[in-house]
Every structure is written in structure tokens, then in C-alpha cells.
Structure 1
Amino acid sequence: MHKPFLFFGTPYVARDTLAGLMERGYRPEVVITSPDAPSGRGLTLTPSEAKVWALEQNLPVLAPERINRALIESLAQYGAEYAIVVAYGKILPQSLIDAFPLGILNIHYSLLPKYRGASPVEAALLNAETVTGVTIQKMAFELDSGDIVAMKETLIGPEETTRELRTRLIAMGTELLADTLPAFESGAVTGVPQDASQATFCGRINKSEGELALSGDPKRNWNKYRAYAESPGTYFFVTKEAKRLRVKVRTAAFENGTFIPKRVVLEGKAETDFAELTKAGWTPA
């Protein structure tokens, strides 16, 4: 019989983790997620991916605007011994962390203390890492500074982008967490403090960071393409006569030391081969 716990999470990363945990028999007392948010061109209020899935499984769901004393006090009714947090999207106050007898576990998609912060998968690819992994940490108030409960490494494939790598890391993290929970629930797990002197950081990514200069460093362009393939995407500009338009990169390759856009979308047009743009007289700016 598993001890009662709460689950905090918002995007598909959290949804897929929760699904994997439930397959292993770990069903939370309640799912706490971000409030419905405007989405799409029509800015329609849309529930989080974790919320949609949880409701389909008949799980109780809370979507508070903020974490305050009233919310923390209300969570006591669930009698949870601990909580799991995966990509929740809000900073958890110390009062919430202290509210659980066993604490809060978090899956972080890097080998902590490397790449603390919001974009560890992107950072690993951007910096041409060949090894990354997942870390289960016991949360502390300082960002990604908690004691390490479990860790697992994996090689990064030379062609992997965030799409493929994140999918693998989600599955790895879910399996590692599920394997760790029996010992954690029994009190047999002792976390290992991080070496803060070795910490590196990665922040939120702006859309402008996805701009490529095709005349620039080809390896840098390739790493950017791999890192930002899922979001925010990469792009460059082309010119033709007096026009200057943006081109989104859908697929690309790195061959013989050269970055080669393959499938692209010219602003206002349908997806096509990059070669077709050059044949039509468009030149990279």
C-alpha cells in the first residue's frame, strides 16, 4: 500500500509522468496544476494538458491562481505524506515544502547541479553535450538546489533534438522515480547534498534566441536547431529584391561540417524544400 501523495504539474511533461506513475500503481490524492490559460490565435481559455488527462482518469484537480496560506491549509485534508512536482510552473514557498512530512520530490532533466533552471534539455543540446540524464531531487526553496535522491545518465544521440531527447528523459525520469519511491516512502533514502560550487544555470528561452545566421558558425546553427526544435523553433531571414522575409526551419541536417536547412516555411507560405526557395531567387540575409 503506497503512502498518500499529491502531484503538481502542468504541461505534457507532467501528464506523461503522471500517466507512467499511475501505471506503476501510484495514484495521487489530487492533482494541482496551473489555471486555464489563453491559447491559440483566438486566445481561448484552455486547460493544461495535465488537467485534461487527470480529469479523464477521474482524479480530483485543483488549479489555483496562487499558492497561499489558505491553499496550503486546504491541502491538509488529503493527508498526503509527500508531493511530487514535475514542471508545475510556479515557485513553491517554503511553507508548502514544509507541509509534507516526507517533503517534495522533483524530477529535473539534467545531471544536477549542472543546468539548474527552466531549460536543461535545451541547454545540453545548445552546448553540444554528449551525456545528460535525470535527477530526482528533494525540493528546497532555492532553485533546483535540493539533495539528490537518485540520478541516471544517458548518452545524447548526435541527431537528437529536444523532441526526441525530452521524450526519452520523461520516460527515464518516470521509471527512476517509480523505482525510488518504495525506499523513499519507507524512509530508507538519504539525499546527497549538491556541490553548489559546480552549479550552472539555464533560464527561460526567448523566441529571438532561435534566430540563425546561415553565414555564421554551422555547428552553432546545428546546435541551436537541435535545442530549439520543439520550442521556440529556429528561423532565418531571406531577401529577394526589396523584400525581407522570415523562414522557419522545420527540419535540417549537419553534413560534412555544413548546416543544411531541409524543410522550411517561408513567411505566409506553405512548407517546402529549402532548395526550392533558392531556386526561386531567395537569398539568406
Structure 2
Amino acid sequence: MSNTAVIKPGNTSLITGGASGIGLAVATLCRKHGMRVAIVDYSNEYLAKAKEILGGSEDVETYQVDVSDLNQLHRLKDKVLERFGSVEFLMLNAGVSAKGGWNDVDYFHKILDTNLYGVINGISTFMPVVTSASGPSAIVITGSKQGITNPPGNPAYNASKAAVKALAEHLSYDLRDTKTSVHLLVPGWTFTGMSGGGPLSNTEKPAGAWWPEQVADYLYQKMDEGKFYAICPDNDVTSDMDKKRMLWSNGDLVDERPALSRWRETWQDDVKAYMKRDLNDLMGSPNLSQMGNEIEE
């Protein structure tokens, strides 16, 4: 049975960070398939707009919640179960970004409290609800390519998304023999509130970015294929380019290169030559094969 079997009439989806961007696009997809939708967000203004966009029917409810506050998540669970009775599809998508330095503890708290603990709080609160569903269920967690390739410039955000990736992978393993599938959504460049978009924005979408609806459709496709990872391309970056970048990042470990060598000046010629190589050739290189053997052992 396809993992998309959960997205059907009568089932309930709960989406954090669901009032704009990718969360709203997934909510719209769920509504198109007849699902009931609980939208969770921090912005009352965005929540009101989201309810309008989704049609404002009795099958749509919005909740103003700070996902970093576990008590608010517990109260949310009670409200959602009283309203809908079940949650079959859980998407933990709420996230924030900011810039700060190593001596700015508030910056780290702001990012980690929402991006990491928002996911932890969501799993601990709603996983028992989702896994107890009578039929197929699913948990989708939104990660980031920055949590995989770790580009310099935003350590708190990168760390939060790297941790989210680890949590999602572990959760997928722990639920492997249940009716609940787990998926890690990793968007590419997407026109959301973080990049000047959103339902209240008049900014024109950059040519290289995807619409949030494209990300939602890609997630649905990967779920239908039974995939855990849904690593989205965009109009500038292909799937092959993403794979090469991820392979290079892993190569820092395997080949004992300096950390984040991809961005170091002394490695630029090597990186450029590497990115021009055929992906199949790179995936069969001895170093990467050896890494795979070590993991299996």
C-alpha cells in the first residue's frame, strides 16, 4: 500500500507552521484530497489568511501555538482531538531563521527552541495519537539542505536542521514495523516567507525558486514511491547537483579533508572539477564505496 493512502477523505492532518509557505501548500493538497486540516502557527494574521485560502469550512481549524512550549502542545492535542477525534497525518514544519554570532546565546535559543524542540515537542505529544490511528498514518518532518551540507554563516540554523535530520532518521527506524510511515522533507530554494514570499507578500518570485505547491507535490510523489527522503530540486539546482554536494560533504569525513572544505579557498579548484564529473562515476568511487562498507559493518 502506498504511503499516500493516509491522505484521503475523513482523515485529519495537523501541520505546524501551516499558515504559509510549504505548510500551507501541503494543507491545500490535503484539502484537495478531502482531508480535515488543523493548521498550527504562531501568527494570527497568517492563520486568518490561511483559513480564508482553505475555504473556511468546518473541516478546517486554526490554532495559534508556540511550538517551543511543550505545555501549549499538550493543550493543542486536547483541542484537536476534541474537534476532530484523530490525527492520521502529522507534519512538523514550523521553523524560523535568524543570524547571530557564537557569543549570542539568544540567537541559538531562538533557532533551536523552535526548529529542534518544536519537532521534539511535536513528536512526544502527537506520536502516540498518530501511531494509534486505525489505518495507515504518516509523520513528515521538514529539514533543510543546510542541515546536510552545513554551509558557513548560520551555525544555529544548520545545527537545528542537522539534529532534525537525525531525529527523523531514528524515528523512521523505530516505527519501521508499524502502520506509520516517516518522511524527511528537504526543500530546495522555495519562495516562502523566509525568502520574501508568503500569502501577504507582493514580492515577485525569483526565477530560480520553486513555488511551495511544487514542494508539496514532490513530497506526495516521494511518499507514493515509499521514500523516506524527499530532497527537492529547484529551478537552479538539480537532483544530481544536490547528490554531488552531499557526496562531497561526506567525503570530508571519509577522506579526512578539512571541515567544510567545499567553501575553503584552497579547495575551490577541486570542488569545481568534482562537480563536473558524472554522478554515477562519483557514486562508484573507492572512497565512497568504502564508507558504505564501513556503515554496513
Instruction: Please state which band the TM-score falls in when normalised by the shorter chain.
Output: 0.3 to 0.5
Name the structure with the higher strand share.
1
TM-score by length of 2: 0.39
Higher relative contact order (CA 8 A, sep 6+): 2
Name the structure with the higher helix share.
2
TM-score by length of 1: 0.40
